[in-house]
Structure 1
Amino acid sequence: MKPSAQDDFFLAPDLVLLNHASYGLASRLVTSHADRIRQQIESDPTFFLGSHLTEHLRQATQTAAAALNLAPENTALCPNATSGAAALISSLPLAEDSVVVALETEYSSILRAWEVACTRVGATMIRVPVQLPFEGPDQLLFSLEALVPGPVTYLQMSLVSSSSAIHFPVTDIADWVHRRGGRLLLDAAHGPGHVPLEPLFWGVDAVFGTLHKWFPTLRPVGFLWLHESLAPHIKPAEISLSWDSSDLIERFSWPGTFDPVPRLSLDTAVKQWRSWHEQKLIEQCQELADHAVDLLTSVGARPTAAPSHLPPRLRGFVIDGLSVADVKGLLQEAGVRTWVGPGTAGECILRLSTHIYNDASDVETVAAQLKEALS
C-alpha cells in the first residue's frame, strides 16, 4: 500500500486491500463533508428531512447523472443496486407466457429475484452459462441461440460480471435480444467511476447499479437509469409517500425514513474522483491491474477473460489446484483482502481490484502467496 494512502483514507497501515470492488471505500474528504451534513440534519431533523429535501436530492441526482453522462430526467438515485433491480423486477409486466433470460454470471441475489418473480406468475426463466475464459461475443451468442428457442421478454446481464470480472459486449447482446422482441436490463454495479456508461448507444432499456464501489462516496448509494419509454412505469419496490409521483426523481426520493447523507455528499466524491483522473492516478491503477495479470499468470493463475474483455481495474483469475478455502486462508494470513469464491462451474476464482492506495508490492504479495501454495 502506498504510504500516501493514509492521507486520503482510513485504511489500516498493515493491510493490503485489493477488494475495492466489493464495498468501495469512502475517503477522508467525503466523510468529513458527510459529517457536517449529518450534524446539520441532526440539529433540526424536522426541517432538514422535510419537503425541501427532495430538491437537495434532485441536485444530487443531477450531479450523479452528469458524472455518469446520463440524462438526469431519466435517472434516479436509490439505496443500492439491489433496490434498483427490485424496482425493475416488481414494475415490469410479467405473465405466464413471458421468458426471462439471465446469464449464470449474474449476481446471485438478482438471479434469485427473477426466479421468485417468474415462479409467482408461472413465467419461464432460462439461465445461460458463460464459459471461462470468456473469449468474445460469438461464444455467448452461440449459447443463447442453442438454449433460447423463441421470443424473449427480458434479458438480464451485467456490464461487468461481479465474481468473474468479465467486461461483456453489451451491444452484441442487445442486438440479439431486440431481434427476439425483448428488452435488455443491465446490472452496472461495476460501471460508475470505472467503465463509462452508454446505454442509448448500447441499446439498453434499463440500467441499475451503485456509485459507492468506484467513487469515494459513503455507502450505500445506487442509481437507476431508464429508457424514456420505461421511465413513467418503473416505481420503487417499497410503496412510500412519493411512490405515486409522476416525477422520476421525486418518486425515488423518499423510500421511507432513511439516511440521505450518502446522496447529499456525492458532489464532494465526484470532485475528488475527477481530481484523481487529472493527476493520472486512475490511469496508474489500470497499469497496476495489467501488472497483476502478468504476475499471476506467471505463477499459474488463469485470467477469466481475453484481454479485450478485461475491465480496467477489476481482474478475475481461475486458480486451478486450490480450493476457495485454501486461497482465502493463505491470503488472510498474509494480511491481504481480496474476493475469493466459487465460479458457476465450481472453480476457484480470485478477483483483484486496484485503486489509488495500491502499489506493485500489493499484487506481488498475492503472486508470492499463490506461487508458494501452487508449487
Structure 2
Amino acid sequence: MLDLTRLRADIPAYDNVTWPTPVFLDSAGSSLPPRPVLDAVTAHLRRETEIGGYRAANERLDDLESVKTAIGTLINADPAGIALSDSATRAWSDFFYAVPLAPGDRILISEVDYASNAIATLQRAQASGAVVEQIPSDDTGQLDLDALAAMLDERVKLVSLVHAPTNGGLVNPVAEAARLTHRVGALVLLDACQSAGQLPLDVAELDVDAMSATGRKWLRGPRGTGFLYVRPELAATMEPTRLDLHSAAWVGPREYRLAADASRFEFWECDVAARLGLGAAVRYLLDHGPDEVYAAIAANAQQLRKTLAGIPEVTVRDLGSRHSGIVSFTIDGWIPVDIRDRLLAQDITVTVSHRGSTLLDMSARRLDSVVRASPHCFVSPDELERFTEAVTALATGR
C-alpha cells in the first residue's frame, strides 16, 4: 500500500505549505514532479554550467540509455523499440508520417481522437489521396468493436486509437480493437498520452504496432519529454520523413544508412536534463509499484465521480464502462472556464477541456467544454473533500 505521507514529502510543491494545502487536480495536464525528477534535471543543468553541454552529456551516456530501459520495463517492451521524443504529439506524428499511404488507402480514427492526431490524418489524406473515416462509438461511448470489424478491409492501412481521451474518463478496448485490425494487415497506432502512468500499459498484451506517450502528465516527468514505442521488427522497415546524423549515418557521398532500431525516430539534439528527468520519473513509478499507483488514482477518481454525481445541478460527463483517472463534469448555469477560475481562487487546480480538442465526440454530445479533474495518487482525502465542497457551493449558489 502506498505511503501517502512519504509521497507528499517527495513533492517540492508541498514544502513549507501550511493548512489548507493546495488541491492539485490536473495530472491530466501537467502533474507535480517528485523531488528525484527535480534533482535529476537541476543537477544536470548545473553540470552543464560547469563543463559545458557536450562533456556533461558524455558523462551520462549510460544513464540516458537507462531511460529507455526503464520505459521498456514499464510497458513490457524491448528498449530497441523505444525512441525518446520531446512530446507525445511529436512521437505520434513521427510514426504516422512514416507510414506509406497511396490514393484510396483508408485511415480509421476514433470518435475521441485528439485534435492534433485528427489534423495530421486530414493533412496526409489531402496530400496522398487517402481517406479518413470515423469509427463510431457504442452505446456506452467507447469504441464500437462491431462497427470497427465491419469497416475493416484490405484498403485500411492504419487505425488510430486513443487509450484514454483528454476530455473524460473513458478507457477504450485497445487490445480487442488491435486484434480485429491485424486481421486485415493494418497497423495500430495507440495514443497513450493520457494513460501512461495511470493505467497498465503492456504493449505485447495490447498488441499495438506503435504507441506514443508524454512525460509531463501521469508519469510526472518534465515538460518537453515523451517517447515512441515501435515494434522492433516494424521499426527496422520504416523510414522517418526527417533524418539527421543520429537517426542515420552518412556512409558515402550519395549514401546514408538508417539506425538499426527505433532510434531512427530520434534526432541528435535534445534536452538531456529533461530526458534524465523522465528517466527519474519512470523509475520513481517503478520503485513505488505501478499497480499500487494505478489503484490509488482509480480510487481517487471513483470517489470524485461518485460524490459529484450526488450534487444537485452537477452532471458527470464521463463515458464508457471502464474509467480512467480523469473526471469530467459540468454545473448547470455555469461556464466551465468560470468554474475553473472560481476554484483556482480557492487554490484548487482543475482545467477545462474544450470542444476543439475532441471535436467529434464533443460535437456529438453538444458540449462546448467540460471541467476536468484528474487526481493523482498523492492527493489526500481531505483535499478531495475540499474540492467537492467547493463544487457543491458553486452548484447550490452558496
Q: Residue 186 of structure 1: SS of its match in structure 2? A: strand
- Quote the residue 1:31 is aligned against: 38
Q: Is the 8 A contact 1:17 1:336 kept in 2?
A: yes
Change (3 A) 1:285 1:204: closer
SS of aligned partner of 1:262: helix
Task: Determine if the alignment matches structure 1 residue 80 to structure 2 residue 87.
Answer: yes
Relative to structure 1, is the Cα distance of residues 120 and 280 closer, same or farther in structure 2, using a 3 angstrom cutoff? closer
CA 1:105 to 1:221, structure 2 compared with 1: closer, same or farther past 3 Å? same
Alpha carbons 1:324, 1:342 under 8 Å: kept: no
Matched with 2:315 is: 301
Q: Aligned partners of 2:189 and 2:114: how far apart in 1?
A: 13
Q: Tell me if structure 2 keeps the 8 A contact 1:289–1:353.
A: yes
TM superposition shift of 1:256: 4.7
The one-letter code matched in structure 2 to 1:8 is D
Structure-1 separation of matches of 2:174 and 2:302: 23
Normalised by the size of structure 1, how large is the TM-score? 0.85
Which of 244, 247, 254 is equivalent to 2:260?
Answer: 247
- The more displaced of 47-56 and 257-266 is 47-56
How far apart, in 2, do the equivalents of 1:262 and 1:323 lie?
Answer: 36
CA change 1:270–1:172 in 2 (3 A) is closer
In the other structure, the counterpart of 1:213 is 217
User: Deviation at 1:282?
Assistant: 5.6
What SS does the aligned partner of 1:209 have?
Answer: strand
Cα distance change, pair 365–241 in 1 and its aligned pair in 2 (3 A): same
Distance apart, 1:324 and its partner CA: 2.7
Structure 1 contact 63–266 (Cα < 8 Å) conserved = no
Measured in 2, the distance between the counterparts of 1:372 and 1:201 equals 44
Deviates more, 1:193-202 or 1:45-54: 45-54
**Which aligned pairs between 1:282-293 and structure 2 lie closer than 5 A?**
283-293=295-305
Give 1:339 deviation, angstroms: 2.4
Cα 1:289/1:65, change in 2 over 3 Å? same
Instruction: Letter of the 1:125 partner, please give it.
Output: V
Which residue in the other structure is 1:118 paired with? 125
Closer, same or farther: CA 130–364 of 1 in aligned 2, 3 Å? farther
1:352 maps onto 2:381 in alignment: no
Q: Which residue of 1 aligns with 2:12?
A: 10
Gaps of 5+ in 2: 249-257, 356-361
Q: Structure 2 matches for 1:194-213, cutoff 5 A? A: 194-213=198-217
Cα shift at 1:330: 3.2
Is 2:252 the counterpart of 1:231?
no
Q: Please give the per-residue CA displacement for 1:73-127, whole angstroms capped at 9, x wherever unaligned.
A: 2122111111111211221101111111111312211111111111111210113
The 2-side partners of 1:197 and 1:241 are apart by: 31
Alignment match of 1:109 (pick from 116, 137, 151): 116
In the alignment, what sits opposite 1:365? 386
Percent of aligned positions that are identical: 21
Q: Which amino acid aligns with 1:258?
A: C
Q: Give the 3-state SS of the residue equivalent to 1:21 in structure 2.
A: coil
Judged with a 3 Å threshold, the aligned counterparts in structure 2 of structure 1 residues 290 and 266 are, in CA distance, closer, same or farther, namely same
Instruction: State the TM-score, normalizing by the size of structure 2.
Output: 0.81
| Cα shift at 1:156 | 0.5
Q: What is the CA distance between 1:11 and its match in structure 2?
A: 2.5
- The alpha-carbon deviation at position 238 of structure 1 amounts to 4.1
Q: Give a deviation string over 1:15-52, Cα, whole Å, max 9, x none.
A: 32100121122222321232222222332236426667
CA distance 1:293–1:43, shift in 2 (3 Å)? same
2:251 is matched with which residue? Answer: none
Q: State how far apart, in whole Å, the 1-side matches of 2:30 and 2:299 are.
A: 22
SS of residue in 1 equivalent to 2:67: helix
Larger displacement relative to structure 2 (231-240 or 214-223): 231-240
Letter in 2 for 1:302: V
Letter in 1 for 2:12: F
How many Å separate the matches in 2 of 1:280 and 1:147?
38
Q: Distance in 2 between matches of 1:356 and 1:215?
A: 11
Aligned to 1:182: 186
Change (3 A) 1:199 1:277: closer
CA RMSD of aligned residues (A): 3.1
- Aligned residue-pair number: 368
Question: Could you tell me how far 1:207 is from its partner in structure 2?
Answer: 0.8
* 1:166 aligned residue: 170
Residue number among 284, 303, 310 corresponding to 1:272 in the alignment: 284
Partners in 2 of 1:53 and 1:284 — Cα distance?
A: 34
Which sections of structure 1, spanning at least 5 residues, go unmatched?
Answer: none
Q: Structure 2 CA distance, aligned partners of 1:26 and 1:230?
A: 33
**Cα distance change on mapping 1:19 and 1:56 into 2, 3 Å:** same
Tell me, yes or no, if the aligned pair for 2:102 and 2:129 is still in contact at 8 Å: yes
What residue in structure 1 maps to residue 26 of structure 2? 19
